C-alpha cells in the first residue's frame, strides 16, 4: 500500500524534524525537502499510469493530443508549485511563497490560452 509508505515516510520525517529543530533548526528544511522528494518518487509510477490512461482516452475520443499535453503540463506545474510553496512556508518565507503562487498562476493561464481560444471557436461555430 503506497498510502502507508507515504504516511510512514512523512511521519518519520516529521519526527526527525521535530528532534532536529531542538539542536540544529537549519537542517530541518533539508529533511523536509528529502521527505518531499521521496514521496514524489513513490508516486511517479501512479502518475505515469494516470498519464497513459488519459492519453488512451484522448486517442479514443479523438481529442487533440496537444491539448492533453498542455493539461498534463499545467497540472504538473500546479503540483510542483504547491510543493515549492509549502517548502517556502515551512521555512518562514511567506513572501517568496506568494510570488511562486502568482508566477505559476500566470504561467498556467498563459499556457491555457490555446485551449480557451479553441473552445471559443467551437462555441462561435455552434451559435448562429
Q: Is the pLDDT of residue 128 over 80?
A: no
Other CB atoms within 10 A of residue 102 CB: 10
pLDDT at 63: 78
List pLDDT tens digits, range 6-20.
999 999 999 999 999
The alpha carbon of residue 20 and the mean position of all alpha carbons in its chain are separated, in whole angstroms, by 28
How confident is the model over 41-63, as a mean pLDDT? Answer: 86
Q: Is the pLDDT of residue 4 over 80?
A: yes
Would you list the domain boundaries of the chain? 1-63, 64-128
Q: What's the rounded Cα separation, in Å, for the pair 31 and 18?
A: 10
Amino acid at each position: 500500500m503506497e498510502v502507508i509508505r507515504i504516511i510512514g515516510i512523512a511521519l518519520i520525517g516529521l519526527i526527525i524534524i521535530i528532534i532536529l529543530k531542538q539542536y540544529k533548526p537549519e537542517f530541518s528544511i533539508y529533511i523536509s525537502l528529502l521527505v518531499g522528494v521521496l514521496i514524489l518518487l513513490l508516486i511517479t509510477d501512479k502518475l505515469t499510469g494516470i498519464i497513459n490512461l488519459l492519453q488512451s482516452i484522448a486517442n479514443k475520443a479523438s481529442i487533440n493530443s496537444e491539448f492533453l499535453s498542455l493539461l498534463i503540463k499545467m497540472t504538473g506545474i500546479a503540483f510542483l508549485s504547491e510543493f515549492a510553496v509549502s517548502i517556502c512556508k515551512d521555512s518562514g518565507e511567506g513572501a517568496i511563497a506568494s510570488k511562486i503562487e502568482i508566477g505559476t498562476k500566470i504561467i498556467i493561464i498563459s499556457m491555457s490560452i490555446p485551449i480557451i481560444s479553441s473552445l471559443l471557436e467551437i462555441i462561435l461555430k455552434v451559435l448562429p
